[in-house]
Amino acid sequence: MNPQFNIQAVWGPRRETPDALANRFLNLLDRLSSIDPVFRNWTWVARGGRTAQFEAIKNRLPAEIEAAISRDDYGKPSPIYGYRFSIINSMKFQPRFVSIRFDVGSWSVTDHYANSAVLETAYNLKPDPALVAYRIFKPALLALAECFDATWCSAYSHATMQYWNEGLGEHYRLAWISYIGPRFAHLVTPPASAIVEREPNGGLLMAATDETFDVSNPAHLAAARDILAAVAPLNALPWPPEVHAPD
C-alpha cells in the first residue's frame, strides 16, 4: 500500500486576485516554517514545470501567481478556474520530502470542482515517522485550513483511500485529522471517540488519534468512521456548500 500521507484543504467558489492569494500563501509559509524545518527551503514550480528558488521570486509573487492562471486546451487563459502552482522542499527523493500544490482563486460552481491546497509526502517513498506525526500534521493542517479559509480540511494516509466512496465527488471522506470551517462547524456534533478542539476562529478540529494513523489499528479506524458519520450533515449539502447552505 502506498505509504504517502496528505493534508487537503477544500473550499468552494471564491474569486481572488493574485495579490490576495500571495498574502494567503506567505501567511501559510510563515506558519509552516514555525512548525518544523522540513517546511522551509522551498522551490517554486510554475506552469509547464519551470522551477525557481522561492526566495528568488518572493518579491514578485503576485506576478508569478498571475502567470500560473488556468488555461484551456488552446492555451488561452481561463480565469474562472483560477491559478495552479506548487512548491517543493529541498529534500526530493528523501523521507522528509514534502510538496504543496494549489488550485486557488476559482469561482466556478461546476459540480465536483473545488479550490484546494494539498500538502503531500513523497510518492512511493516511506516518509520519516517523525514527519507524519500528530505534532507535525495537526498544526500543518490548521495552517492550510485557516490561511485559506477552507470549508473543510483533512489529513489522511493513502491506505485510508480504500475506505472512500469515490462516487461522493467533492465531499468529506474518512480521515485521520479533520477540520470543519466556522460557517459549518455547527452542523457537526463531534463523537465521543474523537479528540476534539474548538479553534479560536470558530472552526472544529477532530482527530481519530494522536498517534500516526494506521488503518490496521481497529481503534484508529473506528474513531475515523465515527467522525465521518458526524460530518454527514455537511456531506448532505449540495456542492458547493457555500452556495447552498443556509446562513
pTM, entire model: 0.94
- pLDDT for position 238: 87
Q: Kindly indicate the confidence band of residue 245, based on its pLDDT and cuts at 50, 70 and 90.
A: low
- pLDDT for position 77: 92
134-186 tens-digit pLDDT: 999 999 999 999 999 999 999 999 999 888 876 566 688 899 999 999 999 99
17-72 tens-digit pLDDT: 999 999 999 999 999 999 999 999 999 998 777 899 999 999 999 999 999 999 98
Average pLDDT (71-94) is 90
- pLDDT for position 168: 60
185-244 tens-digit pLDDT: 999 999 999 999 999 999 999 999 999 999 999 999 999 999 999 999 999 998 888 876
DSSP element (H, E) containing 146: helix 134-147
Looking at the chain, the whole-number percentage of residues with pLDDT higher than 90 is 77
Angle between helix 134-147 and 18-33 (nearest 10): 160
The beta-strand segments (E) located in the chain are: 5-11, 43-45, 51-53, 83-88, 98-104, 115-121, 152-157, 177-180, 195-198, 204-207
102-146 tens-digit pLDDT: 999 999 987 767 899 999 999 888 999 999 999 999 999 999 999
